Each structure stands twice: as structure tokens, then as C-alpha cells.
């Protein structure tokens, strides 16, 4: 579709959701009362990171007035199977601990009572006897042979280990003129939505069916995981998701074990059960991103071209490698080499289990970890070679004429113009002027002098990253070897489903499968359908609720990996186009003119400039009210469904290559920082980010999404990390000490766009919103390195960490050589 003709798509419409949310009329899970007689659950959780459960005594709890029942591991073991996991190793993960607890906060007992207050009173009276075991903390410690082992039947804490090699990776590491090695650490972070997990479950004994409401948002592969664990057929688990979810950023994907637990509780106590997670539970025991220790060695030629990369990555997936992990290592498989045309790669990937909170989806999902390593490496290489960091990127970027570009690892970059985005970012940030001023300042003030520096130090840094969107359901297959995959059913695709219906009085309704958590999908869907049918967007009712019994959906449904723009919108568009074709076909039959000569305008059918007298309402009405008068090839009613997948997300091949995402955007961040060396405080002076996400469906929403992703990235760069002691206790389990950036911490941000539409989606849109979460850590760390002449290798760059860096290095001695190459801008 041509954008010049668009009336609604690409426009900054205000969100239709805001009206109800601003008035406090949103209906979140805790506002719903879908079942009468619902009781409340509270969960008794492990105080130990690693211990045998010797005995559980629930007698005193059962005596508390108002308690209706208690669920323990014995019940779960009897009624459930372990959740299927995404690796060959035989890890048994249940929603409660059975014989052992493996992380602080792990559920042990569920108490169901008339109210949450009473349930908590009773929970305090549950007595569990533990035999503590040594806690395993830290990936490198977990791999030592003398380390305690979390899962005895696995035998080690390595949940998954895979080696990949592509191209001539080894030779350059011996022969190239420049070999650079570094070690990096990325922290374990959370997503902290304002709304926590919520589950309301009801078991119907007459039909052996569960109906569960939860603020779950996919991927709906997990529906099959839940059904299998509950030992039921998938038709027996009706999962419903409210239209209003208070944020997620990936983290609510892991509500699924709680869904099964509360569903089972409902079955065993014989009444509906509600569980609303509180903040303490959420920070301690919901889910998190993985922390990663990575080692990178790269070889470069004399001109700064990267010849090969060797990456060893250790991801801590927590106490259980639960589905869909180790996706954190493989979501980015196709874009491992980022924006660069690198001819060879060796990857050694470990998913390690330790006695900490299990991991799962989170905004960025592997991207922040990968790009912190890759973009820091490029900066370190730049300085080793005496190149400006922007120059080394230019020399390695994929060129516009190389698109569509197939990466070593199987990624298919659909479109892009990387250098143009870089140029724009450098222009907006006045990069050249900053460098010139920096040069003058360093020459003039004799920064070569040793001794304490007590004036602020400024630096500028960049990151250039490929932002993948629309995950391929098959990418996790590379966690298995090709031989193992050959024995399984293949997996692929990024299917999205949508239905567009018009009722007897012309009311237009759309059902979507993207379970929004605040992204504004209802608004964009209105824009798309309004564009196709030429009606007012607000006249379209969008049903954002999901009901697995009645919605169109498939295993890839949900919102994650920013899939609404590439996949979700495509399904909506396609379904709407089917409705349009049906209406125009019907009109053409009535008017005896070719359908191609007709068009829709303001809800009416036009033949050229002439109003034909037919309207959408009239045509749709005819299909309902008088179906026998329809042409023989037209069915009654108007209800068109589209199940849409992008065909390029195919299964992994035997060489372990997989196109892990459907579409690939690109962004460049340029950040200026000022550091007060006396108190080691970093101030971000300004943050420029230029995005290419293909065609923007709604620039206002895109802007909000980018700011949110940037704030989240700023979090891991400067503030956020989950801190555990040697016994596995979470030390910062409240918002007092787990520091999310607030409005007060946001720097001035300028966002600009370039649109190179994707050739793969009907609207040319790519996903966005995770990009800066992936790039901010590297961009800020690169700026800090530029300011201090010291290389940061771990995040977050809290003042105490920066102080350590300052104490180790000798600030004022320029460790980094001056650029020999002029900056090309």
C-alpha cells in the first residue's frame, strides 16, 4: 500500500484505550469477578535458596477459620507432570517444589481461604522443615566440579551446552594483525510492570475443564505446555486474557506455572480461586532476564574489518531452565553478528542453573546481553586500531546493496540502510563538534598530568544495533543438535490470527491475538481496518481479550518479540482485505459492474465519482437479513479470518542456521555523558537515537514505546541489577533497593526515524520498542569509556562501580589513542 494515499495508517492518532484508563475505568485482572464464590490464595514460599524439604505440617493452617484448603507438593506430584522443557536435559520443573527447594521464593504450599488476609494468616502457620544445602551462586562457580548440583538426575548445573561454527573462524585468530579479547558481565534484571501477575481459575468437575483468567500474553506455545503439565487435553484448558493488562515487557509470560498451580488448587479445593501476586512476590519469584558472562575474541585486519568472532556465553537461567529458555541465548541467533558483515563466527553457549530466580521473557530478551558485548568490543577494537568508533562501524556495516542480507547464522535481514541512520545520528548529536572540542580540551588542559582530577569529564559514545522482531517459533531448535532435531517435528513460523466481522446493522468488530499489555494495539487495529474499509477508526470495536475457546489463535499468538507490527498487523490487514473483497464482490454482483471499478469511501460504495447508493451497512445487512438473495458464491454473514505467517521464518537447517526473526530494524544511539570523578556520578547529558523500523503504523505510539524501551535500557546501564548474597538471598527485593529509573532520571532524549519498509509485510512495518533496551548499556558504557579512558566491562555503572574503575585506572592519562582517521560525517 502506498503511504501517500494513507488516511489513517502512519498517523499519530491518540489512543482509544486512554479514555478508559485515564478515568480509572480500565478492567484489569483484579477488577474481574468471573466466577461466583471465588476464594483467595496465598503462597508459602521457600526461605532457602537450596534445601531438602523434610516435612510439611499444614494442620495449624487448616484450623484457621476461613481456610478452605491447602495444596502441597504431594498433591502436585500426584496430579501433574513436569512442564516440558526446551532442552534435552531431564529437568523436572513443577509449579511448586517437590522434594527440594531451589530458589528463595519458590512456591512450596498454597493456602486457599475466604480472603487474602486470612490466607496469609494461615500461611504463617504452615510449618516446613528444611535441610539446607550449599547454594550455587554465579555461573562460573556453578560449573566447577565441586559445586553442589541442583538437579541430581541431570548430574551437573549445565542445562544446555551448544557449540556453533560458521565460516573460516579459526585461522584469523592465529594470523590476523589485531586480536582483541574481553570479558563482559550483564546483570540479572527485572521488568517491573506496575501490575503484577494475576490468576483467577475455575475447575468444572462435570466436564473436567478448567477456565482460567490470567494476564498472560503468550507465546501461546505455553498453552500446550500448561495442558500437558495438567495432564489434560488442550481443549480442556480455556485460557482467557483481559483486554487491560498493566504492562509486562515480557515478564508476564512466566505466569504460566502459576496458572497451572491455581487451576489445580481450584480443582482440589472445589471452588474458584483467585491469586493476585504482590510486589514482594513479584520481585523475588516471578521471572527475570538472564545475567550473562561473555568472553569475546575477535580478529581484525589492518583496516579494522572484523575477520572472525569467537564468543563464549554463559547465561544463568536460574534454578530451573523453564520453557521457553534457553531462548535468551537463541532469540538473537540470526542477528549474532549485529549490523556487521562478518565472515566467520564461533559460538560456545552455556545455559547454567544456579539457585536463583528462574528466567524467561523480558524486553530485549538476549539482545541487551549480546549487544553489550558486541558494541563494547567494536569500541575497544576501534581504539586499539586508532580509529574513531564511528569509523570502525562504517568499515564493517552491511551495505544497502547487500539487502536482503543473509547472516552467517541464518538471519535474513529484510531491509536497511545502516550508514544513513548513523549519519543522521551523528548530525543530530553534533558528534564532530563534540570530538573537536574534546580534542582542544585535552590538548589545552594537559589532561596528561597525573593526580586527582576534580573537574567533570565528558565523553561521547555510540551503539549500532540490529533490532529483531517477530520471533520464529523454530529458533529454539538450535538448542538441539541437527540429529536431535531430525527426530522431532519441525517448528517454524510466526503466525498471527485476526478476525474481522460486520454484524447485521453494520457494526464492525475485530478480534486479535496479540494480548496487548499497554502497547495500544486497539488503536492501531482501528487505523488499519479503517484504512481498508474507509470508515471512521473509532467506529470499529476491537476485542483485545483472548479466549482460547473462541478467539482465532495459534501457538505463536501473543505479544512478545515486538510481533504486533510485523505479524499481528499483517493478520488484521489481511482479514480486513478479505472483508473488503467480499463486500465489493457483492456490490459488483448487484450493480453488474466489475469489482475492480468499485471503491469504498466513507462507508459507501463508489463507482468512479458516483455514489452507487450501496453502503457497507446495507451490504453487510443483506448477508444477515436476507441470505437467500445472495449470489451462490457468497456465504451469509461477514466474518473473515486470517492466519498469517511470514514465509521466511523457516525451521533451522542442518548447519544450525535459522532465521530467528521475521523482520530486522536498526538503530543508532549516540550518548553524551559527564562524570563527576569526585563522587563517580554519571550524568547523561543527552541521548540521541535514530530508528529504522520500516513503516511506522502510528508515530505517537512508536515514540512512547521507544522512550519506554530506552528507560528500561537506562535501567540496566546505570541502576538495575538483582543482587544476591552467597546464600542466595535476594538483597534488593523491594522498590526501595531495586532501582528502576523514574522520570527524574531520564536524560533529554531526541528520537528520529528513517523508514526503509520491510518487503516481507503487507504494511512494510517492523517491530520496535525493544531496541534501546538492547543498545543503551553499550552506548552509555562506550561514552563512559570515552570520558574516563578506562574500559567498563560490567553493568550497571553504579557510582560505586565507577569509583572502583576510577581507583583502578589512572584517570587523566589518556589510555585511548587519539584518532588517526578523520571522522566521516
Residue ranges binding another protein (CB under 8 A): 116-117, 120-121, 124, 278-280, 678-680, 719, 723, 731-732, 736-737, 739, 741-745, 798-800, 803-804, 807
State the minimum distance, in angstroms, from the CB of residue 186 to another protein: 17
State the minimum distance, in angstroms, from the CB of residue 803 to another protein: 4
Q: Which is nearer to another protein, 47 or 400 (CB)?
A: 47
Q: Which H or E element spans position 710? A: helix 699-714
Judge residue 412's burial from the number of C-beta atoms within 10 Å of its C-beta, 0-12 exposed, 13-18 middle, 19 or more buried.
buried
CB atoms within 10 A of CB 463: 35
State the minimum distance, in angstroms, from the CB of residue 269 to another protein: 19
Are β-strands 508-512 and 51-57 bridged in parallel, bridged antiparallel, or unpaired? unpaired
Please say whether the beta carbons of 601 and 534 come within 8 A: yes
State the minimum distance, in angstroms, from the CB of residue 677 to another protein: 10
Please say whether the beta carbons of 272 and 202 come within 8 A: yes
Q: How far is CA 706 from CA 188, 248, 519, 566, 669, in A?
A: 22, 15, 11, 17, 12
CB neighbours of 88 closer than 8 A, spacing ≥ 6?
A: 160, 480, 484
State the minimum distance, in angstroms, from the CB of residue 147 to another protein: 22
Distance CA(500)–CA(638), nearest Å, equals: 8
C-alpha cell at 517: 499489555
**Of residues 747, 475, 734, 761, the one with CA closest to residue 644:** 761
Q: Which is nearer to another protein, 343 or 799 (CB)?
A: 799
State the minimum distance, in angstroms, from the CB of residue 116 to another protein: 5
State the minimum distance, in angstroms, from the CB of residue 260 to another protein: 23
C-alpha cell at 2: 502506498
State the minimum distance, in angstroms, from the CB of residue 453 to another protein: 13
Three-state SS for 23-52 is CCCCCCHHHCCCCCCCEEEEEEECCCCCEE
Q: Which is nearer to another protein, 283 or 362 (CB)?
A: 283
State the minimum distance, in angstroms, from the CB of residue 117 to another protein: 4
Q: Which is nearer to another protein, 596 or 679 (CB)?
A: 679
State the minimum distance, in angstroms, from the CB of residue 740 to another protein: 8
- 689 forms beta bridges with 669, 751
Q: Grid cell 520498542 — which residue?
A: 769
State the minimum distance, in angstroms, from the CB of residue 723 to another protein: 5
Are β-strands 681-692 and 749-754 bridged in parallel, bridged antiparallel, or unpaired? parallel
DSSP-assigned letter for residue 623: H
State the minimum distance, in angstroms, from the CB of residue 73 to another protein: 24
Please say whether the beta carbons of 651 and 658 come within 8 A: yes
C-alpha cell at 108: 512450596
Q: Which is nearer to another protein, 481 or 676 (CB)?
A: 676
Please say whether the beta carbons of 819 and 741 come within 8 A: no
DSSP-assigned letter for residue 748: P
Judge residue 714's burial from the number of C-beta atoms within 10 Å of its C-beta, 0-12 exposed, 13-18 middle, 19 or more buried.
buried
C-alpha cell at 676: 563527576
Strands (DSSP E) along 524-660, which ranges? Answer: 540-543, 546-547, 598-601, 604-607, 610-615, 638-644
CB atoms within 10 A of CB 348: 15
Q: Which is nearer to another protein, 603 or 799 (CB)?
A: 799
Q: Which is nearer to another protein, 161 or 801 (CB)?
A: 801
C-alpha cell at 285: 519469584
State the minimum distance, in angstroms, from the CB of residue 111 to another protein: 12
Please say whether the beta carbons of 131 and 122 come within 8 A: no
Please say whether the beta carbons of 706 and 699 come within 8 A: no
Please say whether the beta carbons of 756 and 427 come within 8 A: no
State the minimum distance, in angstroms, from the CB of residue 115 to another protein: 8
How close are the terminal C-alpha atoms of the chain, in Å? 34
Distance CA(647)–CA(598), nearest Å, equals: 31
Peptide bond into 324 cis (omega under 30): yes
Q: Which is nearer to another protein, 433 or 723 (CB)?
A: 723
**Of residues 281, 291, 292, the one with CA closest to residue 257:** 281
Q: Which is nearer to another protein, 99 or 737 (CB)?
A: 737
State the minimum distance, in angstroms, from the CB of residue 216 to another protein: 22
Q: Grid cell 453494520 — which residue?
A: 506
Q: Which is nearer to another protein, 29 or 544 (CB)?
A: 29
State the minimum distance, in angstroms, from the CB of residue 808 to another protein: 11
Q: Which is nearer to another protein, 28 or 803 (CB)?
A: 803
Q: Which is nearer to another protein, 70 or 119 (CB)?
A: 119
Q: Which is nearer to another protein, 244 or 277 (CB)?
A: 277
C-alpha cell at 803: 569509583
Q: Which is nearer to another protein, 120 or 185 (CB)?
A: 120
C-alpha cell at 240: 482467557
Q: Which is nearer to another protein, 284 or 618 (CB)?
A: 284
**Of residues 171, 163, 161, 162, the one with CA closest to residue 344:** 171
Q: Which H or E element spans position 461? A: strand 457-471
State the minimum distance, in angstroms, from the CB of residue 715 to another protein: 11
Q: Which is nearer to another protein, 278 or 629 (CB)?
A: 278
State the minimum distance, in angstroms, from the CB of residue 642 to another protein: 44
Q: Which is nearer to another protein, 163 or 723 (CB)?
A: 723
Q: Which is nearer to another protein, 104 or 690 (CB)?
A: 104
Distance CA(432)–CA(624), nearest Å, equals: 66
Amino acid at each position: 500500500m502506498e503511504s501517500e494515499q494513507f488516511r489513517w495508517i502512519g498517523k499519530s492518532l491518540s489512543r482509544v484505550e486512554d479514555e478508559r484508563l485515564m478515568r480509572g475505568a480500565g478492567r484489569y485482572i483484579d477488577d474481574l469477578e468471573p466466577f461466583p464464590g471465588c476464594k483467595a490464595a496465598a503462597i508459602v514460599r521457600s526461605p532457602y535458596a537450596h534445601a531438602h524439604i523434610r516435612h510439611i505440617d499444614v494442620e495449624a493452617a487448616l484450623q484457621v477459620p476461613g481456610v478452605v484448603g491447602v495444596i502441597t507438593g504431594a498433591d502436585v506430584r500426584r496430579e501433574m507432570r513436569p512442564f516440558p522443557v526446551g532442552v534435552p536435559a531431564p529437568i523436572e520443573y513443577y509449579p511448586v517444589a517437590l522434594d527440594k527447594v531451589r530458589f528463595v521464593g519458590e512456591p512450596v504450599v498454597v493456602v486457599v481461604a475466604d480472603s487474602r488476609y486470612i490466607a496469609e494468616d494461615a500461611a504463617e502457620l504452615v510449618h516446613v522443615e528444611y535441610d539446607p544445602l550449599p547454594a550455587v551462586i554465579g555461573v562460573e562457580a556453578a560449573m566447577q566440579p565441586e559445586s553442589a548440583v541442583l538437579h541430581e538426575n541431570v548430574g551437573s548445573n549445565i542445562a544446555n551446552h551448544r557449540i556453533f561454527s560458521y565460516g573460516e573462524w579459526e585461522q584469523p585468530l592465529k594470523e590476523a594483525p589485531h586480536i582483541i579479547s574481553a570479558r563482559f558481565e550483564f546483570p540479572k534484571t527485572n521488568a517491573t510492570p506496575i501490575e503484577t501477575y494475576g490468576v483467577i481459575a475455575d475447575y468444572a468437575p462435570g466436564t473436567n475443564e478448567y477456565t482460567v483468567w490470567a494476564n498472560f500474553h503468550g507465546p501461546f506455545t505455553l498453552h500446550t505446555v500448561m495442558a500437558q503439565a495438567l495432564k489434560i487435553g488442550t481443549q480442556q484448558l480455556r485460557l482467557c486474557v483481559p483486554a487491560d493488562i498493566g504492562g509486562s515487557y515480557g515478564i508476564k509470560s512466566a505466569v504460566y506455572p502459576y496458572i497451572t498451580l491455581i487451576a489445580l488448587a481450584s480443582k482440589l479445593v472445589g471452588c474458584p480461586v483467585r491469586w493476585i501476586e504482590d510486589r514482594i512476590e513479584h520481585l523475588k519469584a516471578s521471572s527475570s532476564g538472564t545475567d550473562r558472562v561473555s568472553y569475546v575474541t575477535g580478529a581484525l585486519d589492518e583496516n579494522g574489518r572484523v575477520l572472525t568472532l569467537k564468543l563464549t556465553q554463559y547465561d544463568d537461567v536460574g534454578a530451573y531452565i523453564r520453557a521457553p529458555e534457553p531462548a535468551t541465548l537463541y532469540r538473537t541467533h540470526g542477528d549474532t553478528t549485529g549490523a556487521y558483515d562478518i565472515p566467520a563466527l564461533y559460538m560456545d553457549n552455556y545455559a547454567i542453573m544456579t539457585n536463583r530466580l528462574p528466567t524467561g521473557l523480558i524486553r530485549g530478551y538476549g539482545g541487551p546481553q549480546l549487544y553489550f558485548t558486541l558494541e563494547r568490543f567494536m569500541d575497544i577494537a576501534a581504539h586499539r586500531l586508532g580509529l574513531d568508533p564511528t569509523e570502525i562501524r562504517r568499515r564493517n556495516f552491511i551495505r544497502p546493496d547487500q539487502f536482503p542480507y543473509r547472516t552467517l547464522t541464518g538471519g535474513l535481514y529484510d531491509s536497511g540502510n545502516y550508514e544513513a541512520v548513523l549519519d543522521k545520528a551523528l548530525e543530530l548529536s553534533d558528534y564532530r563538534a563534540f570530538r573537536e572540542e574534546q580534542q582542544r580540551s585535552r590538548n589545552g588542559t594537559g589532561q596528561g598530568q597525573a593526580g586527582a582530577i576534580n573537574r567533570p569529564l565528558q565523553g561521547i559514545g555510540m551503539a549500532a544495533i540490529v533490532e529483531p522482531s517477530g520471533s520464529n517459533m523454530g529458533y529454539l531448535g538450535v538448542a538441539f543438535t541437527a540429529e536431535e532435531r531430525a527426530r522431532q517435528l519441525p517448528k517454524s513460523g510466526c503466525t498471527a490470527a485476526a478476525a474481522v466481522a460486520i454484524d447485521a446493522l453494520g457494526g464492525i468488530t475485530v478480534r486479535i491475538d496479540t494480548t496487548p499489555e499497554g502497547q495500544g494495539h486497539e488503536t492501531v487495529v482501528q487505523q488499519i481496518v479503517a484504512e481498508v474499509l474507509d470508515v471512521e477508526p473509532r467506529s470499529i470495536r476491537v476485542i483485545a481479550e483472548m479466549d482460547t475457546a473462541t478467539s482465532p489463535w495459534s501457538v505463536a499468538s501473543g505479544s512478545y518479540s515486538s510481533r504486533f507490527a510485523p505479524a499481528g498487523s499483517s493478520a488484521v490487514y489481511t482479514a480486513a482485505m478479505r472483508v473488503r473483497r467480499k463486500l465489493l464482490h457483492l456490490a459488483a454482483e448487484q450493480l453488474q459492474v466489475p469489482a475492480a471499478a468499485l471503491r469504498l469511501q466513507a462507508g459507501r460504495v463508489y463507482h468512479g465519482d458516483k455514489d452507487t447508493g450501496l453502503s457497507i451497512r446495507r451490504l453487510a445487512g443483506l448477508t444477515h437479513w436476507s441470505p437467500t438473495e445472495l449470489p451462490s458464491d457468497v456465504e451469509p454473514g461477514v466474518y473473515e479470518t486470517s492466519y498469517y505467517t511470514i514465509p521466511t521464518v523457516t525451521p533451522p537447517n542442518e548447519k544450525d542456521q535459522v532465521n530467528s526473526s521475521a523482520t530486522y530494524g536498526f538503530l543508532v544511539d549516540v550518548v553524551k555523558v559527564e562524570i563527576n570523578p569526585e563522587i563517580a556520578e554519571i550524568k547523561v547529558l543527552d541521548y540521541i537515537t535514530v530508528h529504522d523500523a520500516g513503516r511506522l503504523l502510528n508515530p505517537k505510539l512508536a515514540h512512547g514505546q521507544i522512550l519506554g524501551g530506552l528507560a528500561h535500557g537506562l535501567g540496566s546501564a546505570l541502576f538495575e541489577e538483582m543482587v544476591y548474597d552467597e546464600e542466595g538471598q535476594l538483597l534488593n527485593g523491594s522498590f526501595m533497593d531495586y532501582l528502576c529509573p523514574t522520570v527524574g532520571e531520564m536524560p533529554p532524549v531526541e528520537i528520529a526515524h528513517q523508514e526503509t519498509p520491510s518487503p516481507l509485510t503487507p504494511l512494510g512495518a517492523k517491530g520496535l520498542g525493544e531496541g534501546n533496551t538492547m543498545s543503551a548499556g553499550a552506548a552509555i558504557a562506550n561514552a563512559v569509556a570515552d570520558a574516563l579512558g578506562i574500559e567498563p566491562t560490567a553493568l550497571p555503572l553504579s557510582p560505586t562501580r565507577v569509583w572502583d574503575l576510577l581507583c583502578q585506572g589512572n584517570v587523566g592519562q589518556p589510555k585511548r589513542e587519539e584518532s588517526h582517521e578523520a571522522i566521516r560525517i
